[in-house]
Structure 1
Amino acid sequence: MKETIVLYPTPAMGHLVSIVELSKLILHHYPHQFSVTILLTTGLLDTPATTSYTNRISQTHPSIVFHRFPPLCNPPSLEPTPNYSLTAIAFEFIRLNNPNVLQALQTISETSIIRAFIIDFFCTSALHVASNLSIPTYYFFTSGAAALAAFLYFPTIHAQTTQSFKGLATTDLHFPGLPPIRASRLPEPVLDRADKAYLDFLYFTAHLPKAKGIIVNTFELLEPTAIKAVTSGLCVPDAPTPPVYYIGPLIADPDDRTGEGGHAGAHECLSWLDTQPSQSVVFLCFGSQGTFSVAQMKEIASGLEKSGQRFLWVVRSPPVEDHIKHFFEPENPDLDLLLPEGFLARIKGRGLVVKSWAPQVEVLNHDSVGGFVTHCGWNSVLEAVCAGVPMVAWPLYAEQHMNKAVLVEDLKLAMPIEQSEDGFVSSAEVETRLRALMASSEGKESRQRSREMKEKAWVAWSDGGSSLVAFSKLTEIWRQG
Structure 2
Amino acid sequence: MDSSGALHVVMFPWLAMGHLIPFLELSKRLAQKGHRVSFVSTPRNIKRLPQISPDLSPLINFVSLPLPHIDTLPENAEASIDIPAQKSQSLKMAYDGLEAPLTTFLQNSVPNWIIFDFAAYWLPEVAAKLGVPCVYLSLSNAASLGFMGPPSSLLGNEETVLTIEDITVSPKWVPFPSCVVFRPHELVKIMEGIGENESGVSDAQRIGLAIQGSDVVALRTSVDFEPEWINLLHDLYKKTVIPIGLLPPLVQDVENEGDAKWVEIKEWLDKHERESIVYVALGSEAILSREELNELALGLEKSKLPFFWVLRKPPGSTVDESAMLPKGFEDRTRGRGIVYMSWAPQVRILAHPSVGGFLTHCGWNSVIEGLGFGRALVLLPVMNEQGLNARLLEGKKVGLEIPRNERDGSFTSDSVAESVRVVMVEKEGEPFRTKAKEMKEVFGDRNLNDRYVDGFFRYLEEHRSPDGTSS
Q: The TM-score by the shorter chain falls in which range? A: 0.7 to 0.9
Q: In structure 2, which of residues 304, 321, 334 is the aligned counterpart of residue 334 of structure 1?
A: 321
Q: How does 1:67-146 map to 2 (within 5 A)?
A: 67-72=63-68, 75=70, 77-78=72-73, 86-109=87-110, 114-146=111-143
Residue in structure 1 matched with residue 207 of structure 2 by the alignment: 205
Q: In structure 2, which of residues 402, 415, 421 is the aligned counterpart of residue 417 of structure 1?
A: 402
d(CA) in 1 for partners of 2:353, 2:451: 27
Given the superposition, is the C-alpha separation of residues 101 and 362 from structure 1 closer, same or farther in structure 2, using an over 3 Å criterion? same
Given the superposition, is the C-alpha separation of residues 462 and 263 from structure 1 closer, same or farther in structure 2, using an over 3 Å criterion? closer
d(CA) in 2 for partners of 1:371, 1:226: 26
Given the superposition, is the C-alpha separation of residues 55 and 154 from structure 1 closer, same or farther in structure 2, using an over 3 Å criterion? same
Q: How does 1:107-256 map to 2 (within 5 A)?
A: 107-109=108-110, 114-153=111-150, 155-156=152-153, 158=156, 159-160=158-159, 165=164, 171-174=168-171, 176=174, 178-182=178-182, 184=184, 185=186, 188=190, 195=197, 199-207=201-209, 208-231=211-234, 233=235, 235-236=236-237, 241-254=238-251
What displacement does 1:452 show? 1.1
1:228 maps to a residue whose letter is N
d(CA) in 2 for partners of 1:170, 1:6: 35
Q: How does 1:5-44 map to 2 (within 5 A)?
A: 5-28=9-32, 30-31=33-34, 34-41=35-42
SS of aligned partner of 2:119: helix
1:181 maps to a residue whose letter is V
Residue in structure 2 matched with residue 372 of structure 1 by the alignment: 358
* Residues 1:310 and 2:297 aligned together: no
Given the superposition, is the C-alpha separation of residues 150 and 450 from structure 1 closer, same or farther in structure 2, using an over 3 Å criterion? same
2:356/2:376 contact within 8 Å kept: yes
Given the superposition, is the C-alpha separation of residues 257 and 292 from structure 1 closer, same or farther in structure 2, using an over 3 Å criterion? farther
Q: How does 1:328-477 map to 2 (within 5 A)?
A: 333-335=320-322, 337-409=323-395, 411-420=396-405, 421-457=407-443, 461-462=447-448, 465=451, 468-477=454-463
Given the superposition, is the C-alpha separation of residues 465 and 96 from structure 1 closer, same or farther in structure 2, using an over 3 Å criterion? closer
What displacement does 1:213 show? 0.6
What displacement does 1:10 show? 0.5
Deviations 1:347-394 (A, max 9, x none): 222111111322111111111111111111111111112111110111
d(CA) in 2 for partners of 1:280, 1:394: 20
Residue in structure 2 matched with residue 53 of structure 1 by the alignment: 48
SS of aligned partner of 1:358: coil
2:179 maps to a residue whose letter is P
2:371/2:436 contact within 8 Å kept: yes
Residue segments in structure 1 that go unaligned for 5+ positions in a row: none
2:220/2:244 contact within 8 Å kept: yes
Deviations 1:215-243 (A, max 9, x none): 11111111122112113x1x34xxxx221
d(CA) in 2 for partners of 1:450, 1:345: 33
1:205 maps to a residue whose letter is I
Q: TM-score, normalised by structure 2?
A: 0.84
SS of aligned partner of 1:268: helix
What displacement does 1:425 show? 2.2
Given the superposition, is the C-alpha separation of residues 60 and 304 from structure 1 closer, same or farther in structure 2, using an over 3 Å criterion? farther
d(CA) in 1 for partners of 2:389, 2:353: 26
d(CA) in 1 for partners of 2:259, 2:449: 39
d(CA) in 2 for partners of 1:124, 1:287: 26
Given the superposition, is the C-alpha separation of residues 449 and 163 from structure 1 closer, same or farther in structure 2, using an over 3 Å criterion? closer
Residue segments in structure 2 that go unaligned for 5+ positions in a row: 75-84
Q: In structure 2, which of residues 259, 277, 284 is the aligned counterpart of residue 281 of structure 1?
A: 277
1:101/1:129 contact within 8 Å kept: no
d(CA) in 2 for partners of 1:153, 1:248: 22
2:422/2:428 contact within 8 Å kept: yes
Equivalent pairs counted in the alignment come to 443
What displacement does 1:182 show? 3.0
Aligned CA RMSD, in angstroms, stands at 3.3
d(CA) in 2 for partners of 1:191, 1:160: 25
1:219/1:460 contact within 8 Å kept: no
2:233 maps to a residue whose letter is V
What displacement does 1:413 show? 0.8
Q: How does 1:250-265 map to 2 (within 5 A)?
A: 250-254=247-251, 265=261
Q: TM-score, normalised by structure 1?
A: 0.82
SS of aligned partner of 1:56: coil
What displacement does 1:106 show? 1.7
d(CA) in 1 for partners of 2:70, 2:381: 32
Given the superposition, is the C-alpha separation of residues 419 and 211 from structure 1 closer, same or farther in structure 2, using an over 3 Å criterion? same
SS of aligned partner of 1:122: coil
Q: In structure 1, which of residues 279, 291, 294 is the aligned counterpart of residue 290 of structure 2?
A: 294
Residue in structure 2 matched with residue 4 of structure 1 by the alignment: 8
2:402 maps to a residue whose letter is I
d(CA) in 2 for partners of 1:471, 1:70: 30
SS of aligned partner of 2:49: helix
d(CA) in 2 for partners of 1:458, 1:257: 15
2:9/2:112 contact within 8 Å kept: yes
Deviations 1:423-451 (A, max 9, x none): 33211111111111112223211111111
What displacement does 1:127 show? 1.8
Residue in structure 1 matched with residue 78 of structure 2 by the alignment: none
Given the superposition, is the C-alpha separation of residues 258 and 396 from structure 1 closer, same or farther in structure 2, using an over 3 Å criterion? farther
d(CA) in 1 for partners of 2:57, 2:51: 10
